[in-house]
Structure 1
């Protein structure tokens, strides 16, 4: 069967629009294009099957095409029902990539497409949020046999993988791309910060300046969200469960307090924890009329939707990607993008130049796993520093600049204890 015959997409007629989107990001992803040139020559994935589960938009499409250029037979599916772009899916099918994704499928259909992407019996996987890995280790362990390993790019996914490894249950090596310097320093911080407010501003059409923004979690994503909110003129409050991160947020110039207090003050709430129910019932009870709730974590569990609905007398869509929950006392709370990842559910995700580095890490991680999988063991492992540094070096070169090099004498000095 051809890729077209195997694919499950919404509308093949949208391909031309999708190609335009891919062409735009391609022009702004020079590092990934440099790796593509390398892959075309070396063919590291020749004869192999690769299944990719990521937010299926134009930048991801470019990564899929790079893996394909390395010789792989590529199947791709979406990692979030709201982030899939149907025109991009159609374009990829025309490029010979099997696509199993649609915008906003029913939950059962979404899960079925994830499983179908695994039924191709891939040799390698690229995962987001641990979606494919979870299915392989629960419902479809019969499909693990062919898998050499893969790469995971999210904080949520790494949490799940490490829990699986702790139980001694992980069945193949997975590279923690999220823990690479060129991922969390730039993607998590600058990418999340910008894309979250791109989405919030586009969706609400409201001013940020002067509002109180509550950032729930001060990891690298939370740092980026807080920094961008401050830059837009907001008063920023950070809530945390880690005292060290709390001190860090305080010294970065932000107010730090428990959510029980912050809930009374916030105009906009953004969750970035990777945890469950960080905004919940008792917080809704004291929020201002008109408070806006947004989640920037992978799963739609950080803002507790069942408890929000239970406290509401009405629920209605008041604007695309905005649901109004009217409380018993008449207060209105607004949830963006169904509580799903707001920057992709209600926006286009991270800027292309940021994802250029992240997806370059993904491509190099996949090659690394394929080259070394027999020696890596069944564990979560870090990307070798030299590959991380290679991406940074390529990035600087694409900007027309570089950094200094140590002299032999300096290297000898640093390596000496005397």
Structure 2
């Protein structure tokens, strides 16, 4: 397929822009918090004269975040954080709207790496990252940009783990805000967004019933809680595998079975990994799985299901449906891997609902706003989202829902802050 280079962009087909624009308009109608911030940014222009590179899953909701940042006066370039989640029509619509882009669906590892470098050639003042690929590339291969970048925000648990390791080792070169750790992010995006979008991706890909099946969820963080909760709601029997004793107790008290993966592997019909670690499901687990078991990953990188072990055990492989690869083992059993072991909710679906990403992307926008409006440059470290920004998103969301809450009286505030009162 012929490629187009438009407005310092490398994309697949600019002619797809009209259908991509329709997708963006649809989510815009369901993102009231971002809509309010856009109005404010258009008045204030907090990013005027600044360059921003956004590395996220390039679908409609991300596209609208990029447009909101652009409305604040920034020049914006986007690049994919996952080659299978890129929607070429949405990317084309962004380019038509004056936003640079370097991405296409199904990019090879080499193309993916090249796209990141092309985006960084834009020489950003600020970045929004997902999983740490921008930050990692800057620090390993593009160190001349460290003094150019004034700060950024990170979307994911995985990315924050990498950032904190860099900070601890004295290797972080500019301040970063840990958006994933904001309450309005992990309580809603990770739990309700992941819970719904993972099962949306699995069900639309397999067209199989979940009720009556046994689902094994690896990891009981906020994302794992959401995946397990929705599986239970769909009528599945749920097993949780954990390495954290506290989280394992929580899963048990929430009504789920808890056991090691080697035991759960013999029982599961669906397996979903949500840990952020590698080799969560590997050779010894594949060897005891039942025929027809379906494997999916909802962690950031495609390392949680060990694909090398799976290939080594397989006598034959084939694609049986879009985003489903069959691995036929020597004894005749068949195991099925969804979306190449990449994020199933985005590689095989449309990702989190717009109403959920409205809150998360509002936090991204406000984090970028906090960085851009600082009177003095921040010391280099990983920062939490400002509490005022977290609370602002919560209040705007309630307002959009038409909900009101109570206020404390001065007497009540005094009571809560005074140890003398009984």
Q: Deviations over 1:269-290 (max 9, x none)?
A: 0000000010001000000000
CA deviation after TM superposition for structure 1 residue 372, in Å: 2.6
CA distance, structure 1, for counterparts of residue 45 and residue 408 of structure 2? 33
Partners of 2:375 and 2:201 lie apart in 1 by 39
1:375 CA drift (Å): 4.5
Contact map agreement 2:129 2:155 (CA 8 A) in 1: yes
Give the conservation status (yes or no) of the 8 Å contact 2:38–2:68: yes
Q: Which residue of 1 aligns with 2:58?
A: 56
Deviates more, 1:396-405 or 1:66-75: 396-405
Give the secondary-structure state (helix, strand or coil) at the position aligned to 1:404. Answer: coil
**CA offsets per residue over residues 8-40 of structure 1, 9 Å max, x none?**
110100000000000000000000000001100
Q: 2 CA distance for matches of 1:303 and 1:364?
A: 35
Q: Which moves more between the two structures, 120-129 or 370-379?
A: 370-379
Distance in 2 (CA, whole Å) between partners of 1:224 and 1:410 is: 35
- Aligned partners of 2:19 and 2:101: how far apart in 1? 16
2:187 to 180, 185, 188: 185
Tell me what 2:313 maps to.
Answer: 311
Cα displacement string for residues 165-195 of structure 1 (whole angstroms, at most 9, x for unaligned residues): 1101101111000000000000000000000
List runs of 5+ in structure 2 lacking aligned partners.
none
- Deviation larger for 143-152 or 231-240: 143-152
Residues 4, 96 of structure 1: 8 Å contact kept: no
Give the superposition deviation at 1:266.
Answer: 0.3
Matched, 1:341 2:350: no
Task: For residue 265 of structure 2, give the secondary structure of its aligned residue in structure 1.
Answer: helix
Q: Which residue among 41, 46, 49 is the counterpart of 1:47?
A: 49
User: What are the superposed Cα offsets for residues 113-163 of structure 1, whole Å, 9 maximum, x if unpaired?
Assistant: 011111111000000000100001111111112100000010110111111
Which of the residues 99, 102, 109 maps onto 1:100?
Answer: 102
What is the aligned partner in structure 2 of residue 223 from structure 1?
A: 225
Cα shift at 1:410: 1.4
Q: Deviations over 1:249-280 (max 9, x none)?
A: 00000000000100010000000000001000
Preserved contact between residue 9 and residue 89 of structure 1 (Cα < 8 Å): yes
Determine which of 27, 30, 39 is the counterpart of 2:32: 30
SS in 2 for 1:214: strand
8 A contact 1:149–1:172 mirrored in 2: yes
Partner of 2:177: 175
Q: Give the deviation of 1:373 after TM superposition.
A: 7.8
Of the three residues 397, 400, 403, the one matched with 1:401 is 403
After TM superposition, the structure 1 stretch with the greater mean CA deviation from structure 2, 407-416 or 371-380, is: 371-380
Root-mean-square deviation (Å) = 0.9
Among candidates 125, 132, 140, match of residue 123 of structure 1:
125
Is the Cα–Cα contact under 8 Å of residues 393 and 402 in structure 1 kept in the other structure?
no
What secondary structure sits across from 1:406 in the alignment?
coil
The answer (yes or no) to whether the contact 2:150–2:377 under 8 Å persists in 1 is no
Other-structure match for 1:16? 18
Q: Deviations over 1:39-90 (max 9, x none)?
A: 0011000000000000000000000000000000000011000000000011
Question: Does the 8 Å CA contact 1:149/1:373 hold for their aligned counterparts?
Answer: no
SS, match of residue 372 in structure 1: coil
Q: Any residues of structure 2 matched to 1:18-417 within 5 Å, and which?
A: 18-372=20-374, 374-417=376-419
3-state SS, counterpart of residue 82 of structure 2: coil
Give aligned pairs, total.
Answer: 416
For structure 1, which runs of at least 5 residues remain unmatched after alignment?
none
Q: Is the 8 A contact 1:343 1:350 kept in 2?
A: yes
Contact persistence 1:279–1:304 (CA under 8 A) = yes
Distance in 2 between the 1:240 and 1:170 partners? 30
User: Judging changes above 3 Å, is the alpha-carbon distance between structure 1 residues 327 and 374 closer, same or farther for their aligned structure 2 residues?
Assistant: farther
Change (3 A) 1:373 1:155: farther
Report the TM-score, using the length of structure 1 for normalisation: 0.98
- Cα distance in structure 1, aligned partners of 2:165 and 2:263: 32
Give 1:374 shift.
3.8
CA–CA distance in 2 between the matches of 1:236 and 1:401? Answer: 34
Deviation string 1:309-368 (CA, Å, 9 cap, x unpaired) is 001001110000000001111110000000000000000000000000000000000011
